[in-house]
Amino acid sequence: MNIKPYLLGFDFDGTAFDTFSPSSQKIGIAEAYEIAIRDMFGDKVANLYHNSGGHAGLGPTQIIERLFLSSRAYDILSPIKLILKARKFYMDHFEVFNQYIPDGKGVDINSWKWRRNTEMIAEILVRRKLHYLLPQIGTLLQSEGDIWPQPTKGFIDFWKALSLVRDKGVANSNSYYFFGTRSVY
């Protein structure tokens, strides 16, 4: 028997579920990033982030790089002060960060590496963002009575089609869980 392997890769936010639309608590991806930046760096940097376009579809590393450049350009904080603030925030909240990401996933923030500041700060930003987003999952949307987040248009049909090949071995690119009879790496 000739089994054709399938490899599936997709992202959760905006691909599988509409986490860009805010929950009933008015928190979606953009809001969670802004709140996390405010927590980590303070009001001035959060306002700069907001006024320079906010999330704008950027990844966490790109957001941190943009903060480094814009905070220097507007003379708000030097990159080294941003790094020191992020490191202090990390040290103050160390115990809660590991609950959001499974062991072995993401950047290892348990041993801060100075040569990888942008990566380390981006990982802290992601985990702080999750601090605000995860409690929203499964809450009721006030206007519709639906559960947040809603699946994106077409995702349910896609998932149904995917279930037809599930026994052939399917892997999610953002998860260490593998389904089916064969794992695909």
23 in Cβ contact with 141 (< 8 Å): yes
Q: What is the pLDDT of residues 88-143, one digit of tens each?
A: 998 888 778 777 777 777 777 766 666 688 888 998 999 999 999 989 888 888 76
The Cα 99–Cα 103 span in angstroms is 9
Question: What is the chain's alpha carbon radius of gyration, rounded to the nearest angstrom?
Answer: 19
Tokens in use for 61?
């590393």
Q: What is the model's pTM?
A: 0.75
Domain map (residue ranges) of the chain: 1-17+151-185, 29-136
Q: What average pLDDT is seen over the chain?
A: 78
